[in-house]
Each structure stands twice: as C-alpha cells, then as structure tokens.
C-alpha cells in the first residue's frame, strides 16, 4: 500500500511499535507513521445471544475499560488464529466458526496496521479455559444501547467491529 | 484520567504527537503512551437523509480513503467548534445543531486522546463554502451496507461514530 517514491526512515522504536518518518516528493514536512502488528477484535455471542466482553485495566489510558476481546496477530499466526486465541484467553470461550466481518485501519492518519473484525456465534465456555491474568470476562445481557452508555465502554475499535456486525446482520439493536 | 503514582517521561516528539514512557509501580517494563490532540468525527446527513463523506489521500496509509469528515480539536476550540469547522472545510456543509453522540478512546492500548463523535442533521451547503485543498466531498446515497463494502471505507473511527449514530437512532440500516 506504500508508494515506491516515498522515503522512509525509522526514527523511534519500542518493543510494541515503531515510528517512521515518510517523505513525499513535493511535500515539505515529513509524515510520521506508526507501525505496529495487526490486531483483531471479536464480536462473540453465546447461544443466548449475549455479547462476550472483557473488563481490564489499560495502563496507557490509566483506567478500567470494557471492550470486545481483542489482541495482536503474532508472527506466524493468521488473523483467525489470533481471534480464536484472544477469545479463549480473555473470555474463556470458544466457537466453531469465526467469520471475517471487515478489515479496517485503526487510524488512517497515524497507524499503518490493520484491525481484523471477526464474528463468532454460538460461543461456549471452553473445556480447558485458562483466562489471562487481569482479564475479567463479562457476559453482557443488556444490549447495545445500554452498552454505549456504560462509562467504561470507550474503545473505538470495539464500536467499529460492532458497527460491522450490525451492518452484516449478525446483531440487532 | 491518569493515576498520580505513575512516572511519565517524554521520549519522542513530532509536531503531531508525542510518545511518553509510563512506569507503573510493580510493573517491570514501561508502557508507551502516544499523546495527540483530541479529534472529532461528524455523522452529517443532508435533508434527503444522505451521509456526507470525504475522499482524500492519506499519506501515512499511502492510499485514498473514504471517511466521515473529521479532524483535530485545536487549542482554544471546543469539540463542537472543531466539528463545525471540519464539516465546513471537508464537505462545504453546515448545520444548525451538532449533537454529541459519544466520546471514545481511539486506542486504549496506545493513545491517550479522545474522539468526540457528533451528529449533524439537515446539513446544507454553506453560503461561502471553501473546501480545503485535497478534500473531495461525497454525498453518499447508497446506505450503510454498501458503504462498509466500499474498498476505501476503512477508517475505524468512522465506523465507531456510525455505530453510535445507529445506537442513538439517528440512522438506520
């Protein structure tokens, strides 16, 4: 997706992301692009039609959040494998089918990575569920209108994946 | 929203964002938080019920995108003022009422800024509309299902704001 006439230079690096300056011909100032692994968000619903969420402390935001299960695609993993792993680690649930709803850009102004949004219906408690430390799974019974009013439900990527699930007819308001 | 017992240090800076390392007591590795100005996204609909979008080249992503009008909240501006300005600059439209749909976090894992999502109904062409260079306004007539299938409609924040508009009953599928 990158034009061959840009000139990129890594200017800052952490274990989780790196910043590159991108110079475009005819544009005076460089653009700064943040590279990070792709990630996944999973709209998972159990047999009763209730949404699976996770409550966790987010150190960067300095607060608790209530989000869809989500996480990075590790090297050597497909996005679907990452989605299965994250659903299990964050909610203790599994599902037969993970359907790709859409692939988005978390931030077209800053990031170059992608957000893969999956739908997993008829999710059920896994036989050997080992929930990751710090993750508090939530089976949310109150529907999407109440969810948007939850103080801790603030994650843009969760809303984006739920938009795709609504548009694809996987959920209703 | 930041706890007083963290220790922050700015480790990298650009004109558009800065990276801080955040050390939490009892946590071995620092977290890296990216600070940037808050931004707004506007779900604006004209009298015919058609959504106002903007097509533009995103240098960081290296491609064209189709997005909701959106932009930074500048210093001294309220989020609503920013929303009015961005709608005018990117689509040439204005509206009487800008209703706050929700306030989200663009990325709870990386960013500390906020995304203010507004709804502007009965938007109309402004008398002295001056559309910013590089912005191609689009009046989208095909509805949200077709929109999600548009190749260039990839921006997570646009989907998140549209989710809020659906939940608040401002739009329908």
Question: Does B1 score more than 60 pLDDT?
Answer: no
Phi, psi (rounded to 5 degrees) for B167: -60, -35
Contact A156 B157 (CB under 8 A): yes
Query: Which of A146-150, B66-70, B108-112 shows the lowest per-residue confidence on average (mean pLDDT)?
Result: B108-112
Closest chain A residue by Cα to residue B6: A62
A61 touching B (Cβ < 8 Å): yes
Q: Which residue has the higher pLDDT, A127 or B20?
A: B20
* Chain segment A41-94, per-residue pLDDT in tens: 999 999 999 999 999 999 888 899 999 999 999 999 999 999 999 999 999 999
- Per-residue pLDDT, B27: 83
- Per-residue pLDDT, B56: 97
Question: Does B105 score more than 60 pLDDT?
Answer: yes
pLDDT-derived band at B7 (thresholds 50, 70, 90) equals confident
Give the mean model confidence (pLDDT) for residues B70-84.
Answer: 97
- Per-residue pLDDT, B5: 60
Comparing C-alpha atoms, which of B77, B49, B55, B80 is closest to residue B158? B55
* Chain segment A106-154, per-residue pLDDT in tens: 988 889 999 999 999 999 999 888 999 999 999 999 999 999 999 999 9
Question: Does A7 score more than 80 pLDDT?
Answer: no
Q: Is A157 exposed, middle or buried (0-12, 13-18, 19+ CB in 10 A)?
A: buried
pLDDT-derived band at B129 (thresholds 50, 70, 90) equals confident
Q: Where are the beta strands (DSSP E) in chain B?
A: 7-13, 18-23, 31-35, 39-46, 51-58, 63-67, 70-72, 93-94, 99-104, 115-125, 136-140
- Per-residue pLDDT, B19: 95
Query: Which of A61-65, B76-80, B146-150 shows the lowest per-residue confidence on average (mean pLDDT)?
Result: A61-65
Contact B34 A34 (CB under 8 A): yes
- Residue percentage of chain B with pLDDT more than 70: 97
Question: Does B133 score more than 50 pLDDT?
Answer: yes
Nearest to B148 among A62, A162, A167 (CB): A167
DSSP symbols for A85-152:
HHHHHHHSEE-S--EEEEEEBS-TTTB---EEEEEEEEEEE-TT--PPTT-EEEEE-SHHHHHHT-TT
Strand partners, B31: B22
E strand or H helix at A40: strand A39-46
Question: Does B39 score more than 50 pLDDT?
Answer: yes
The rounded distance, in Å, linking the Cα atoms of A66 and A73 is 21
Which residues on chain B are in Cβ contact (under 8 Å) with A53?
A: none
Contact B31 A115 (CB under 8 A): no
Which residues on chain B are in Cβ contact (under 8 Å) with A60?
A: 22, 31-33, 108-112
Contact A108 B34 (CB under 8 A): no
Question: Does B101 score more than 90 pLDDT?
Answer: yes
Question: Does A16 score more than 60 pLDDT?
Answer: yes
Which B positions 143-172 lie with beta carbon below 8 A of chain A? 144-145, 148, 154-157, 159-164, 166-168
- Which of B109, B133, B173 would you mutate first to test chain A, the one with the most A CBs within 10 A? B109
Give the mean model confidence (pLDDT) for residues B79-86.
Answer: 98
Q: Which residue has the higher pLDDT, B137 or A110?
A: B137
b/e per residue A120-137 (b: at least 16 CB within 10 A): bbebeeeeeeebeeebeb
Contact A60 B108 (CB under 8 A): yes
Contact A109 B58 (CB under 8 A): yes
Contact A59 B31 (CB under 8 A): yes
Instruction: Kindly report the pTM of this predicted structure.
Output: 0.95
Give the mean model confidence (pLDDT) for residues B53-62.
Answer: 94
- Per-residue pLDDT, B29: 86
The SS3 call for residue B166 is helix
Smallest Cα distance from A66 to chain B, Å: 10
Contact B115 A156 (CB under 8 A): yes
The rounded distance, in Å, linking the Cα atoms of A67 and A45 is 14
pLDDT-derived band at B85 (thresholds 50, 70, 90) equals very high
């Amino acid at each position: 997706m990158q034009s061959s006439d840009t000139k990129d230079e890594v200017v800052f690096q952490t274990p989780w992301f790196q910043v590159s300056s991108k110079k475009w011909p005819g544009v005076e100032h460089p653009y700064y692009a943040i590279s990070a692994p792709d990630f996944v968000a999973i709209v998972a619903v159990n047999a009763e039609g209730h949404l699976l969420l996770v409550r966790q402390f987010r150190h960067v935001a300095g607060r608790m959040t209530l989000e869809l299960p989500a996480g990075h695609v590790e090297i050597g993993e497909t996005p679907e494998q990452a989605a299965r792993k994250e659903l299990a680690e964050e909610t203790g649930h599994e599902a037969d089918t993970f359907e790709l709803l859409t692939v988005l850009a978390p931030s077209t102004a800053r990031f170059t990575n992608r957000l893969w949004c999956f739908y997993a219906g008829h999710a059920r408690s896994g036989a050997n569920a080992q929930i990751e430390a710090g993750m508090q799974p939530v089976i949310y019974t109150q529907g999407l209108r109440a969810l948007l009013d939850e103080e801790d439900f603030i994650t843009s990527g969760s809303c984006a994946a739920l938009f795709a699930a609504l548009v694809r007819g996987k959920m209703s308001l």
